[in-house]
Structure 1
Amino acid sequence: MKAEDEAEFRQFVAGRWTRLVHAAVLLTGDRGHAEDLAQAALVRVFSSWSRVRAAHDMDAYTMRILINQNKNRFRKRRVDEDLTDAPPDRGSEDPTAHLEQRALLWAALAALPKRQREVVVLRYWEDYSEAQTAAILGCSVGTVKSQAAKALAKLRTHTVALAAK
């Protein structure tokens, strides 16, 4: 890789690292796994930097790599998902740490099936459009819409049930 390409990649990583880790935390439920996942995704981005740089939407391309890496970690290791009931401590950087509902949201998110959780993270956390989310996940827009609707319904009932306890 040329020095200017490497510098451009470093700048790309510096601007996206936090966002990738936050999305990965939502996908994995664990800060350590999330950092490993983000790092693995960025290794793939680095190895195909010319294609990523040429992509219409570099962030969406990178997010798709992150999603695929998350799927691959289960394929290779056959690890069961073990999302925690409480979110990992993100220190003082987290602007939502003071909200009581955070723990309820994490528990509800952890209870979602993997595909629904991916749709929720991409659509509502990362703010991708339905079409972008479908492209990242490699499915139809209709699938994104139906999975989002099912996920939101589950989140609503789950958070109401948890709040009542």
Structure 2
Amino acid sequence: MFVNSLCGGWYDEETTLERDEFNAVFAAHYTRVLRYVQRRVDDRGAAEEIAAETFLVAWSKRGHVEITVPWLYGTAANKIGDHYRRSQRKRAAEAALARRAEEAPEEVSPLDRLALTSAINVLTAKEREVVMLTYWERLPAKQVAEVVGGSEASIWVTLTRARTKMREHLHDFPHPATEGGDHALR
């Protein structure tokens, strides 16, 4: 027997295959999960901790659930929520959202970024998460539902409401980019 330092438990040789399979999942998805967390958490160290905690949960659930990217994102989202509840850093989360808008592609003008950031800020936290997972992470509605919890239909309803709010906000936003060009929100 030996101690696995990552998962903190005792294992015998019968679990070698299980460990190898888990290590393959970890190697394939850790960077993606870490990036997901880093886009939502300011502190790099905290992001790495949350990503590691996500895989600790995955290890503890192995054999009971299928470890997929949407499942990992959902677990990471829960760990991120735990982090923000413990630290009560709502302002830091809003700053991270603003930074993501600043990291938009170069072809987006500063005024368009301002308009988009302003429109995203009118959304509830759940609406923002659904919009970000749909458009930033490019997950289909079914996988978004797995991440945030709920049905695929509820994700479509949330996405429709969020786009309507953003469209109305952009309609009132005094900038040429919104004139006749809200095609991204349809």
User: What is the TM-score of this pair, normalised by structure 1?
Assistant: 0.70
Q: Which residue of 1 aligns with 2:30?
A: 13
Q: 2:57 aligns with which of 48, 52, 64?
A: 48
Q: Give the C-alpha shift of residue 75 in structure 1.
A: 2.6
Q: Give the C-alpha shift of residue 104 in structure 1.
A: 1.9
Q: Is the 2:37–2:80 Cα contact (8 Å) retained in structure 1?
A: no
Secondary structure of residue in 1 paired with 2:108: coil
Secondary structure of residue in 1 paired with 2:98: coil
Q: Give the C-alpha shift of residue 64 in structure 1.
A: 0.4
Query: How far, CA to CA, are the matches of 1:152 and 1:120 in structure 2?
Result: 8
Q: Give the C-alpha shift of residue 21 in structure 1.
A: 2.9
Q: Is the 1:38–1:66 Cα contact (8 Å) retained in structure 2?
A: no
Query: Map of 1:14-33 to 2, 5 A cutoff?
Result: 14-22=31-39, 24=40, 32-33=42-43
CA separation of 1:41/1:8 partners in 2, compared to 1, >3 Å: closer, same or farther? same
Q: Identity percentage over the alignment?
A: 17
2:74 counterpart of 1:59: no
CA separation of 1:20/1:105 partners in 2, compared to 1, >3 Å: closer, same or farther? same
Q: 2:84 aligns with which of 46, 71, 74?
A: 74
Q: 1:109 aligns with which of 100, 115, 120?
A: 120
CA separation of 1:81/1:148 partners in 2, compared to 1, >3 Å: closer, same or farther? farther
What number of residue pairs does the alignment pair up?
A: 155
Corresponding letter in the other structure for 1:154: K
Q: Give the C-alpha shift of residue 99 in structure 1.
A: 1.0
Secondary structure of residue in 1 paired with 2:90: coil
Q: Is the 1:85–1:107 Cα contact (8 Å) retained in structure 2?
A: no
User: What is the TM-score of this pair, normalised by structure 2?
Assistant: 0.63
Supply the RMSD in Å over aligned alpha carbons: 3.5
Pick the structure with more helix per residue.
1
Corresponding letter in the other structure for 1:156: R
Between structure 1 and structure 2, the one with the greater Rg is: 2
Secondary structure of residue in 2 paired with 1:88: helix
Runs of at least 5 residues in structure 1 that lack an aligned partner in the other structure: none
